[in-house]
Amino acid sequence: MLDAVRAAERQGTLLRETPITIDVGGTLIEGVADCVFEDAGGYVVIDFKTDRAEGDLLDRYRRQVGLYAGAVAQATGKPARAVLMKV
- What digits encode the pLDDT tens for the residues 51-83? 888 889 999 999 999 999 999 999 999 999 999
What domains sit in the chain, N to C, each tagged with a CATH number? 2-86 (3.90.320.10)
- DSSP, collapsed to helix, strand or coil, labels residue 1 as coil
DSSP 8-state symbol, 12: T
Whole-prediction pTM: 0.91
- What digits encode the pLDDT tens for the residues 8-43? 999 999 999 999 999 989 999 999 999 999 999 999
The answer to whether 44 touches 36, Cβ cutoff 8 Å, is yes
